[in-house]
Structure 1
Amino acid sequence: MTNRLSGIQEFVAVVEAGGFAAAGERLGLSRSAVGKAVVRLEGRLGVRLCHRTTRVFNLTDDGQVFYERCLRALRELEAAETAIETGRNEPAGRIRISVPVLFGRRCVVPVLMELARQYPKLDLEASFTDRTVDLVEEGYDLAIRNGPVRDNAGLMMRRVARQRMTICASPHYLEQRGSPATFAEIADHDTVVYSLGGRIRSWCFRSISGESYELPLQSRIKFDDLDAIADAATAGMGLAWLPCWLIRDRVRDGELVPILRDIDPLVFDSSALWPRTPHLPTRMRLLIDTLAARLPGMTG
């Protein structure tokens, strides 16, 4: 008996990704395999679903109608899967997650390990990167992002933690150069700054009126790793602007000293994002709820 669902997943992925190569990356298949699956589907249906060249992909009228029907059918299947999963004694299945490198290692991974120990049928796959991933295009179920989220079209979002930032330096540096009493004095100091893709991240603060403002910086020491910046500040290379959770132990041990503590620090949100869906699988809901419950204790 012919598999009536054969090729549908590949066809929908091609439409959503905008091409065969991108769909292949999303599904973990070669471009050729995706193309052959769609051709077989067209042969079984007896219609042409799309026009494609090496550069252009467009749905035919029949393809558009079929795509919309396929979406409805897949949503029904997802709802059925969710209903079955909800009735299980324990969550199961694969979740693919994208997390910032350092925040992911220090804060998210302990939560993932806790879930993995508690639920042996969960399959958790985490990718560590500080770039902004495309969840749908790259096949992620969930991403954690720090700071403002601007590209959330088609995504659901929930705050899972808050991160307070502070300026700090080593006791030796402050003894040698003095401690700035105002933001204007920072311009006379050495700084160690975060830079990614050639762009320096400004230091942000909140004014008395509650509005946030940026302190533009020039520095001869630029890293794209917060741990390396903390190491440089500890070594007396200058002032650094870092998350409180990252420097907590260094402050306790006297290696770093927070300054300008009477200034209200800017607080960043850490958010979980996932593709919009009418039925969120139990395993996803568990992960998001657990992150929201556990991360504030690590970042507070």
Structure 2
Amino acid sequence: MDRLSSMAVFVRAADLGSFAAAADAFEISGPMVGKHVRFLEERLGVRLLNRTTRRQSLTEAGQAYYERCRAVLAEAEAADAVVADELSEPRGRLRVTMPALLGRHCIAPLLMKLARKYPHLELDLSFADPIADIVEAGYDLAIRTGDLDDQSGLIARRIASQRMVVCGARSYLRANGKPKSLDDLAAHQAIIYRRSGRVRPWLFPQQDQPAREIMPSGRLRLDDLEAIADAAAQGMGLAWLPYWLVRERLNAGALVDLFGGQVEFLYDCHALWPRSPRLPLAEAHDMTQAPGPPLTPRPPSGRALGR
């Protein structure tokens, strides 16, 4: 007998709880299901299923073998699908979760371009700053920035970096002076980004050393980056923000980049997805050709968002 076929029958029998149900699923006879299971048991030299007239259950060895069989069958299906995908266009549903602002400004435009190109592709997008459990929530792909926490069961690829700049309005600088160095920041009002009750430091790279951390101080604390950019443009203080978010304000003169890109910090942007099953074909097609950050599980490009 073919071992892969017998594995598939065994897994289905375990999932459905009976040989009869597995026989119906594969359109074979009940005795043939039994032959497939016995073939595996004889080959392995262990009993995989305990069977009575009323019920069946996996043995301890059967449970371990069942888990590995599921993984093997999933990989076999993925291998078949790779070849099939080469002959077809992306289709099906792609569920993606991403930070709200980064998603709207940088990621969604790429996905919209992909959706226009491939009419059989469905997108299910979540714009949410709280980090979701990818597997538990059923997402195919997640976009995250900064340091990654627990990655167990996930594949992660750096897909881009986002420039961070210190900026302020001309009205604020006229009233309070322009800082000439990082040490001068302590004497200025900062508009503070507080997320999940935590104030995050401003980070600045140093030659061959860990990034310098400056804890901002000020009377405004906000949990929305867009609101911080608006407050900074109104002269309420200095802000440390992603370049892609304030680019238009800088170009229009509403904000000024205080250090001219000399001490900019790059936050890595990652794509994460479950190790199994594989992503739909959508993730493999042409996303690096669109403007903005690449969104594809390939080696990092080193691009900086907004450049």
Determine the structure 2 residue equivalent to 1:299.
Answer: 306
Q: CA RMSD in A?
A: 3.1
Distance in 2 (alpha carbons) for counterparts of 1:291 and 1:155: 25
Distance change (3 Å), C-alpha of 1:241 and 1:282:
same
Distance change (3 Å), C-alpha of 1:149 and 1:7:
farther
Distance in 2 (alpha carbons) for counterparts of 1:261 and 1:44: 78
Shift of 1:45: 10
> What code does the residue aligned with 1:78 have?
A
Distance change (3 Å), C-alpha of 1:48 and 1:222:
farther
Shift of 1:230: 0.1
Shift of 1:71: 2.2
Choose 95-104 or 155-164, whichever is displaced more. 155-164
> What code does the residue aligned with 1:266 have?
F
8 Å CA contact retained: 1:82, 1:281: no
Distance in 2 (alpha carbons) for counterparts of 1:109 and 1:257: 27
Shift of 1:196: 0.8
Shift of 1:294: 4.9
Determine the structure 1 residue equivalent to 2:57.
Answer: 48
Determine the structure 2 residue equivalent to 1:100.
Answer: 99
Deviations 1:227-246 (A, max 9, x none): 11000101111000011111
Distance change (3 Å), C-alpha of 1:211 and 1:282:
same
8 Å CA contact retained: 2:110, 2:291: no
8 Å CA contact retained: 2:194, 2:222: yes
8 Å CA contact retained: 1:144, 1:272: yes
Determine the structure 1 residue equivalent to 2:144.
Answer: 145
Determine the structure 1 residue equivalent to 2:224.
Answer: 225
Distance in 2 (alpha carbons) for counterparts of 1:103 and 1:233: 19
> What code does the residue aligned with 2:213 have?
E
TM-score scaled by structure 1? Answer: 0.76
- SS of the aligned residue for 1:160 comes to strand
- SS of the aligned residue for 1:66 comes to helix
Distance change (3 Å), C-alpha of 1:279 and 1:146:
closer
8 Å CA contact retained: 1:98, 1:143: yes
2:108 is the counterpart of 1:109:
yes
Map residues 4-83 of structure 1 onto 2, 5 A cutoff. Answer: 46-49=55-58, 60-83=60-83
8 Å CA contact retained: 2:205, 2:212: yes
8 Å CA contact retained: 2:159, 2:271: yes
Shift of 1:65: 2.5
> What code does the residue aligned with 1:48 have?
S
Determine the structure 1 residue equivalent to 2:201.
Answer: 202
Choose 99-108 or 59-68, whichever is displaced more. 59-68
Determine the structure 1 residue equivalent to 2:168.
Answer: 169
Determine the structure 2 residue equivalent to 1:32.
Answer: none
Distance change (3 Å), C-alpha of 1:188 and 1:272:
same
- SS of the aligned residue for 2:106 comes to helix
Shift of 1:167: 0.5
Shift of 1:67: 2.2
Distance in 2 (alpha carbons) for counterparts of 1:184 and 1:272: 35
The number of aligned residues is 258
Distance in 1 (alpha carbons) for counterparts of 2:252 and 2:15: 55
Q: Report percent identity of matched pairs.
A: 36
Shift of 1:258: 1.2
8 Å CA contact retained: 1:232, 1:238: yes
Map residues 199-278 of structure 1 onto 2, 5 A cutoff. Answer: 199-261=198-260, 263-277=262-276
Shift of 1:210: 4.7
- SS of the aligned residue for 1:180 comes to coil
Shift of 1:164: 1.0
Distance change (3 Å), C-alpha of 1:127 and 1:259:
same
Distance in 2 (alpha carbons) for counterparts of 1:114 and 1:240: 32
Distance change (3 Å), C-alpha of 1:135 and 1:290:
farther
Choose 280-289 or 144-153, whichever is displaced more. 280-289
Determine the structure 2 residue equivalent to 1:33.
Answer: none
Shift of 1:81: 2.9
Structure 1's unaligned 5+ residue stretches are 12-41, 50-58
Shift of 1:203: 0.3
Determine the structure 1 residue equivalent to 2:154.
Answer: 155
TM-score scaled by structure 2? Answer: 0.74
Distance in 1 (alpha carbons) for counterparts of 2:252 and 2:119: 38
